[in-house]
Amino acid sequence: MLEIKELHKRYPTGDPALRGVSLSVPAGQVLGLIGPSGAGKSTLIRCINRLVEPTQGQVLLDGQDLAHAGRQGLRMARRQIGMIFQEYALVERLTVMENLLSGRLGYTRFWPSWFRRFPSKDIQLAYSLLERVGLAGMENKRADALSGGQRQRVGIARALMQRPAFLLIDEPTASLDPKTSRQIMRLILTLCAEHKLAAIINIHDVVLATEFLPRIVGLRQGMMVYDGPATQVDHKV
C-alpha cells in the first residue's frame, strides 16, 4: 500500500510543481496518472522514489516514510519499487538475460563476468519471468535486436526481478504502436493483479487510460483535479 500525504514540491526556479497532493494506492491496484504537460506527473513519480526531493509531505510505502528516510532506509525502500520506463532503459549490447540480472545490481554497478556468480534462484526467477512476459527462449538475444514491444517486455520482467511491492511506470507505451501498447497494458495489469502489486502509471494517452485503468487521477498545475473511474474523466481533466 502506497500513501502520499500533502506532498509539495517547489523547484528552486518557477512556480510550485506539486501543491499538496494526497492519494493512496492499495495492493493490486493500478492507478493511472493523467494531465497536461507541466501538470506535475513526472515530479510526483520522481518524488516517490526520491529522484526528486519533495519540499514537504509524506510518501508512505507499507507505513515507512520514504520522504524522510535516511540513506540506508531509502536504499532498502528503493528495492521494493520497480521502475518501468518509456524508453525501456535496457543495456543495448547485453543479452536479455544479462539485462534481467543487471537489475539485481541496481542498474549501475555491473560487469558481465559477474553474471556467472548469480544464485540459481535468481536465474530461475529470470527464466520464469521471461516466460510470463511472453519471451520464452529469447534469453540470449541482444537487447538491440528486439522490437519495441519486446524491449518493454524485458523492461517489465527486469522490474519484477527484485520482487517489488510497488511499480512506478513512466509512459510505458509512449514509444509503441497502438496494438503493441494494448498488449503491454494488458500484460502490466495481469501481472499487477497476480502479484498484488500496487502501481502508478504516468500515461499521456487518455484513450488508453480509460480503456484499461479503473481508477484515474488527474493533475493540473500541481493539484489533483480528478480522482475516480475512467468513465467520467473526459470533461474533468
Q: Which residue has the cell 520464452?
A: 136
DSSP-derived secondary structure letter, 230: G
Q: Which residue has the cell 513519480?
A: 45
Q: Decide if residue 129 touches ligand ADP (CB under 6 A).
A: yes
Q: Between 185 and 197, whose beta carbon lies closer to ligand ADP?
A: 197
Q: Decide if residue 190 touches ligand ADP (CB under 6 A).
A: no
Q: Between 37 and 72, whose beta carbon lies closer to ligand ADP?
A: 37
Residues 112 and 115: their CA atoms lie apart, in Å, by 6
Q: Decide if residue 39 touches ligand ADP (CB under 6 A).
A: yes
> Given the rule CB under 6 A, which of 12-20, 59-67, 143-151, 226-234 is the region that contacts ligand ADP?
12-20
Query: How many positions of this chain bind ligand ADP (CB under 6 A)?
Result: 20
Amino acid at 5: K
- Binds ligand ADP by CB under 6 A, chosen from 17, 90, 100, 143: 17
E-only strand ranges, 45-197 = 56-61, 64-65, 81-84, 166-170
Q: Decide if residue 37 touches ligand ADP (CB under 6 A).
A: yes
The CA R_g of the chain, rounded to the nearest whole Å, is 18
CB of 148 to ligand ADP, least distance (A): 21
Query: Looking at beta carbons, which pairs linking 9-13 to residues 24 or more positions away fall under 8 Å?
Result: 9/40, 9/43, 9/47, 9/52, 9/53, 9/54, 9/55, 9/222, 10/55
Residue 213, classed as helix, strand or coil, is coil
- Binds ligand ADP by CB under 6 A, chosen from 128, 147, 190, 232: 128
- Binds ligand ADP by CB under 6 A, chosen from 29, 43, 49, 95: 43
Q: Between 42 and 55, whose beta carbon lies closer to ligand ADP?
A: 42
For residue 225, what is its C-alpha cell? 483535479
- 49-76 in b/e form (b: 16+ CB < 10 A) is bbebebeebebebeeeebbebeeeebee
> Given the rule CB under 6 A, which of 10-18, 20-28, 96-104, 173-181 is the region that contacts ligand ADP?
10-18
Q: Decide if residue 195 touches ligand ADP (CB under 6 A).
A: yes
Region 156-175 residues binding ligand ADP, contact defined as CB under 6 A: 160, 163
Q: Decide if residue 119 touches ligand ADP (CB under 6 A).
A: no
Q: Between 93 and 99, whose beta carbon lies closer to ligand ADP?
A: 99
For residue 100, what is its C-alpha cell? 534481467
Q: Which residues bind ligand ADP (CB under 6 A)?
A: 11, 13-14, 17, 35, 37-43, 121, 124-125, 128-129, 160, 163, 195
